[in-house]
Amino acid sequence: MSKPILVIKFGSAAITKANGELNQLVMVEIARQVAQLYSEYHLVIVSSGAVAAGKQYIRNYAGEIAQRKAAAAIGNLLLLNKYAQFFAPYEIPVAQSLCERGHFANRDQFLQMKETFQELWDNGIIPIVNENDVVSSRELKFSDNDELATLIAVGFGADTLMLCTSVGGLLDNTGKVIPRVSQVNDVFKYVRTDKSSVGLGGMTSKLTFAKLAMRMGIRTIIFGMNESDGILRALREETGTVFVSQENVLSARNRWLGSGSLVAGRILIDAGAALALQNRKSLLAVGITEVEGDFEAGEAVEIVDEEGTSVAVAKAKESSTSIAQNLKTQNFEVANANDIVLL
């Protein structure tokens, strides 16, 4: 049988010091612990840190877009060289994979990426993944590497997703780590709005993507590297916060649609249509109150209920123009039930 897939994400705050230098002690620990999991899992390491590591080489660095891209171009090389150096004692080769949001939006490109990762695993190589900041546009960027890691985990059908944080897990009001979460909506109240000085994401981001991963049947663990064997113990659920996966019966295609596709527009629906979707019915034009955006048949759209909540992602059967012209038409199918993924 194929090995289970384990995706582990490390943010900039985890692997860099305050001055931007790579924290080699942490990276040595990552390599040591991951090496112990090497024979059990197909591993993916999603690692931030390129911009933080490279910005010291950019004169008068102020965080402007061009400066960030230049810093990433330098930092990616520094980052991968260190990972290669620290995995070398375990005779584990690593490869670099720089991803863009469009690689997940286009299913053909996504499948090609999936095949490439499988080839790396077949040859005993661990892919080290980061966003391709050098060319990514602001409109098509990942919100942060928590999203990138989650899309890889969902799209590849990972068993477990691990997100590293400086605080070691989700903390309650007393500052203690909450060991287990079954309903993410119940714990957003514990989130603080602060984030690290070098990272983009925070706990809100991690909870948001943990919720998506759980819904797609993936156990998610928020953990820290500030204690002995942080990765190994968190995987054994001895430390950190475990988000319990829900039963998932979606096809690989619909997992991709529900997580990786870029939506081209929005469809607002009434309460009756929302109920029909929950009962796994197709979306008909009579239940639509408004169409936003300009999209063609076959493109992905977001479906929003009367409260403004995103309830589904769907592959549109008709263009936005055709839908708008047929809002009162009976039995005019806008999206088939097989092409709708509930959120």
Report whether 216 contacts 244 (CB < 8 A): no
pLDDT in tens, 214-237: 888 899 999 999 989 999 999 999
Is 53's pLDDT higher than 50?
A: yes
CA 6 vs CA 159, 172, 186, 316, 325: distances in Å = 6, 27, 26, 33, 47
Is 98's pLDDT higher than 70?
A: yes
Q: What are phi and psi of 117, to 5 degrees?
A: -60, -40
Is 331's pLDDT higher than 70?
A: yes
Residue-level pLDDT at 250: 72
Residue-level pLDDT at 328: 84
Of 67-71, 74-78, 105-109, which gets the smallest average pLDDT? 105-109
User: Stretch 105-111: mean pLDDT, rounded?
Assistant: 82
pLDDT in tens, 121-171: 999 999 999 987 666 654 445 557 888 999 899 889 899 999 999 889 999
Q: How confident is the model at residue 95 (pLDDT cuts 50, 70, 90)?
A: very high
**pTM for the whole thing?**
0.81
* Residue 75, amino acid: G
Percent of residues, the chain, with pLDDT higher than 70: 92
Alpha helices in the chain (DSSP H): 12-15, 24-37, 50-54, 65-87, 101-105, 107-122, 145-156, 203-215, 230-235, 252-259, 271-278, 320-325
Mean pLDDT of the chain, nearest integer: 88
Percent of residues, the chain, with pLDDT higher than 90: 52
Q: How confident is the model at residue 194 (pLDDT cuts 50, 70, 90)?
A: low
User: Domains of the chain, with CATH numbers?
Assistant: 5-253 (3.40.1160.10), 263-342 (2.30.130.10)
More confident residue, 193 or 150: 150
Residue-level pLDDT at 199: 42
Q: How confident is the model at residue 24 (pLDDT cuts 50, 70, 90)?
A: very high
More confident residue, 241 or 68: 241
Give me the DSSP letters along 120-156. Answer: HHHTT-EEEEEE-TTT--GGG--SSHHHHHHHHHHHH
Query: CA 146 to CA 129: how far, in whole Å?
Result: 12
CA 113 vs CA 95, 102, 117: distances in Å = 13, 12, 6
Report whether 230 contacts 236 (CB < 8 A): no
More confident residue, 25 or 166: 25
Report whether 281 contacts 333 (CB < 8 A): no
pLDDT in tens, 30-48: 999 999 999 999 999 999 8
Q: How confident is the model at residue 260 (pLDDT cuts 50, 70, 90)?
A: low
pLDDT in tens, 76-85: 999 999 999 9
Smallest Cα–Cα separation from 215: which of 254, 172, 269? Answer: 254
Residue-level pLDDT at 104: 79
Smallest Cα–Cα separation from 283: which of 212, 219, 340? Answer: 340
Query: CA 152 to CA 66: how far, in whole Å?
Result: 27
